[in-house]
Amino acid sequence: MKLKGFLLIALILIFALVPAFGQAAQYLLSVHTDKPVYQAGETVVISGQLTQDGKPAPFYAVSVTVENQGGILFVDQATTDKDGSFQSLCPLPSSAPSGSYRVTVGAAGVQGQVDFYVGTISDSLPPTSQILQPQNNEFLTSAPILISGTATDNQGLRLVEVSLDGGTTWIPASGTLNWAYLWENPANGSYRVQSRATDLAGNVENPTSGVQVAVNIASTPTPTPTPTPTPTPTPTASPTPTPTPTATPTPTSTPSPTPTATLSFFPDLSFHWARGFIENLAQRGLINGYPDGLFRPDNPITRAEFTKILVLALNLELINPPQPQFSDVPQDFWGFTYIETAQAKGIVKGIGQGEFAPQRNITRAEIVTMIGRALNLEPVENLPFSDKDEIPDFASGFVGAVTAKGIVNGFPDGTFRPANLATRAEAATMIWRMLSAP
């Protein structure tokens, strides 16, 4: 009965997560920068929106990466707001070389890309784009209709647009190198669908082709109610006497109720890999969810948030000094006592210039360093990771020590990725392993 109850709940959850008619949710991610060309030392404002089936998708973790020909320059994580929008600020170093840079943003299993240029751009060649879906002369019978394709340019892409009326009106698509547009409520008829791209120099593609499609979506007729016939009365027969049954003795023991399978502590953890670790910490009062009851395991975690969890996990006595140790952590900040306690115990040392950066998202290297200091681990310098040269000096010995304790692992490709931002799920897992380590 316990297994049957669990399977029933699992099926209910699965069907609840699948949209009507079994179609998977359609996520689209738009991304753009506040301008196409920058100078070294400026800040690039990256923003966009995540939608699900044409509607804003709030409170999703968004990963942001900026790279050029030399490799990755900037990594960040943001969270979509109630309108599905996000923003990230990428400060360009004063030594940023001239050339094209690419922004890649990911959320909910989809990606969006946009380019920008540093320096003075010179480009007279227009970009090109093509439509991959739908096919030319395709007959479309269901909505919404996903229009998607690719685009390319020799310097970089800024925008791709779609026209549904043969070039009279243009609508921005999501993405550039790979782009998509969700046509939500098409009317029946014949359409000429075209795409055009704009590059960083402002050159606009002159679309000379497209695809011709026919839309014929059958409307669902309103059913006509069938009248209920009036029943013909049936003559009442004389009742047959029913013998009085013999009473069954009441058992002396009460049967045990059938066990009921329990749902996840947080509704958004039902099928998450870190559910057990997170719920273990939540039951101990070491970690909390959001006011709406969700945990959002894939969201990033800040330096202040992780410090609080670590201090609580270590059951340290909180201190409340009269003067703050960090200029950006005043006494009225919610995490003041936790950060001050961690500083007094030598677990945190700030980022320099008397600052702690409490609201900055924490990296894997920083988390491992804090755990290593908290456990007074001896540094281990022999690191098995292929990217060990990328691990900061302050974290190198602690990465080896904490890895040797089994508290943190590398990635399947043999890397540690010290600059990656840790998620709430990863942080909870490391804390649980820390508490369980011999």
Which of the two residues, 290 and 231, has the higher pLDDT score? Answer: 290
Which of the two residues, 107 and 299, has the higher pLDDT score? Answer: 299
Which of the two residues, 72 and 416, has the higher pLDDT score? Answer: 416
**Number of Cβ atoms within 10 Å of the Cβ of 227:** 6
Domain boundary residue, one of 121, 149, 165 = 121
Give yes or no: residues 111 and 159 share one domain: no
Q: Residue 285 — left, alpha, or beta (φ > 0 → left; ψ -120 to 50 → alpha)? A: left
CA 319, 323, 325, 327 dihedral sign is: positive
Mean pLDDT, rounded, for 389-405: 91
Tell me whether residue 226 is in a domain.
Answer: no
The token pair at 64 is 């942001």
Kindly tell me the burial class for residue 11, based on how many C-beta atoms sit within 10 Å of its own C-beta (0-12, 13-18, 19 or more).
exposed
- Are 197 and 176 in contact by the 8 Å Cβ rule? The answer is yes
> Which DSSP symbol is given to 388?
G
The residues pairing with 62 across neighbouring beta strands, listed in sequence order, are: 78
CATH number at residue 68: 2.60.40.1930
Give yes or no: residues 46 and 126 share one domain: no
Give yes or no: residues 63 and 134 share one domain: no
Residue 126: band (very low, low, confident or very high) from pLDDT cuts 50, 70, 90? very high
Task: Provide the pairing of β-strand 138-140 with 211-215.
Answer: parallel
Mean pLDDT, rounded, for 208-214: 88
Tell me whether residue 158 is in a domain.
Answer: yes
Q: How far apart are CA 149 and CA 159, in angstroms?
A: 13
Give yes or no: residues 116 and 136 share one domain: no
**Domain span at 65:** 24-121
Q: What tens digit of pLDDT does each residue of 140-162 get?
A: 999 889 999 999 999 999 999 99
Mean pLDDT, rounded, for 357-363: 91
Give yes or no: residues 82 and 133 share one domain: no
Tell me whether residue 60 is in a domain.
Answer: yes
Tell me whether residue 166 is in a domain.
Answer: yes
Tell me whether residue 6 is in a domain.
Answer: no
Give yes or no: residues 328 and 426 share one domain: yes
The token pair at 39 is 């100078």
Give yes or no: residues 126 and 101 share one domain: no
3-state secondary structure of 131: strand
Tell me whether residue 8 is in a domain.
Answer: no
Kindly tell me the burial class for residue 334, based on how many C-beta atoms sit within 10 Å of its own C-beta (0-12, 13-18, 19 or more).
exposed
Give yes or no: residues 127 and 106 share one domain: no
Domain boundary residue, one of 218, 234, 250 = 218
Q: How far apart are CA 438 and CA 435, in angstroms?
A: 8
Tell me whether residue 131 is in a domain.
Answer: yes
Task: Provide the pairing of β-strand 27-33 with 43-52.
Answer: antiparallel
Give yes or no: residues 203 and 293 share one domain: no
The pLDDT of residue 24: 54
Give yes or no: residues 72 and 140 share one domain: no
The pLDDT of residue 21: 35
The token pair at 301 is 């975690």
The pLDDT of residue 219: 66
CA 357, 336, 312, 374 dihedral sign is: positive
Q: What tens digit of pLDDT does each residue of 162-205 get?
A: 999 989 999 999 889 889 999 988 999 999 999 999 999 999 99
Residue with tokens 């009326």: 165
Residue 10: band (very low, low, confident or very high) from pLDDT cuts 50, 70, 90? very low
Q: What tens digit of pLDDT does each residue of 219-268 get?
A: 655 454 545 444 444 444 444 443 333 333 333 333 323 222 334 468 88
Q: How would DSSP label each residue in 52-90?
A: ETTEE--S-EEEEEEEETTEEEEEEEEE--TTSEEEEEE
CATH number at residue 178: 2.60.40.650
**Length of the chain, please?**
438
Mean pLDDT, rounded, for 102-128: 89
Which of the two residues, 284 and 321, has the higher pLDDT score? Answer: 321
Q: How far apart are CA 391 and CA 389, in angstroms?
A: 6
Q: How far apart are CA 304 and CA 382, in angstroms?
A: 30
Tell me whether residue 179 is in a domain.
Answer: yes
Domain boundary residue, one of 218, 238, 254 = 218
Give yes or no: residues 281 and 212 share one domain: no
Q: Which amino acid is at 419?
A: A
Give yes or no: residues 340 and 427 share one domain: yes
pLDDT at 367 exceeding the cut of 60: yes
Q: Please give the tally of structural domains in the chain.
A: 3
Q: Which amino acid is at 55?
A: K
pLDDT at 370 exceeding the cut of 70: yes
